[in-house]
Amino acid sequence: MLAPNVRFSSAATLLWVMAKPALVQSQGTYTSIDIAAHHTETDCWTAVYGKVYDITEYAPNHLVGAPILVNGMCGKDGTPAFDPVHGDTPGYMQIIPGITYLGELAAEIPVPVVPVPNPAPVPGPGTPATGTGTGIRPTSRHGAGTNPGPT
Average pLDDT of the chain, as a whole number: 74
Count up the domains in the chain and report the number: 1
Separation between Cα atoms, residue 46 and residue 32, nearest integer Å:
9
Q: Please indicate, yes or no, if residue 56 is contained in any of the structural domains.
A: yes
Rounded average pLDDT over 111-128: 71
pLDDT of residue 89: 77
Residue 82 maps to which CATH number?
3.10.120.10
**pLDDT per residue as tens digits for the range 64-89:** 888 888 888 999 999 999 989 888 77
CB 86 within 8 A of CB 45: no
Q: Please indicate, yes or no, if residue 129 is contained in any of the structural domains.
A: no
pLDDT of residue 130: 55
Q: Please indicate, yes or no, if residue 46 is contained in any of the structural domains.
A: yes
CB 103 within 8 A of CB 48: no
Q: Please indicate, yes or no, if residue 97 is contained in any of the structural domains.
A: yes
Q: Please indicate, yes or no, if residue 66 is contained in any of the structural domains.
A: yes
Q: Please indicate, yes or no, if residue 140 is contained in any of the structural domains.
A: no
> What are the helix (H) ranges across the chain?
11-19, 32-36, 66-73, 79-86, 92-95
**pLDDT per residue as tens digits for the range 15-39:** 444 444 444 445 789 999 999 999 9
**pLDDT per residue as tens digits for the range 99-115:** 999 999 998 777 677 77
Q: Please indicate, yes or no, if residue 3 is contained in any of the structural domains.
A: no
Percent of the chain with pLDDT over 90: 29
Q: Which of 55, 49, 56, 99 is nearest to 77 (CA)?
A: 49
Residue 89 lies in domain = 22-105
Separation between Cα atoms, residue 8 and residue 79, nearest integer Å:
19
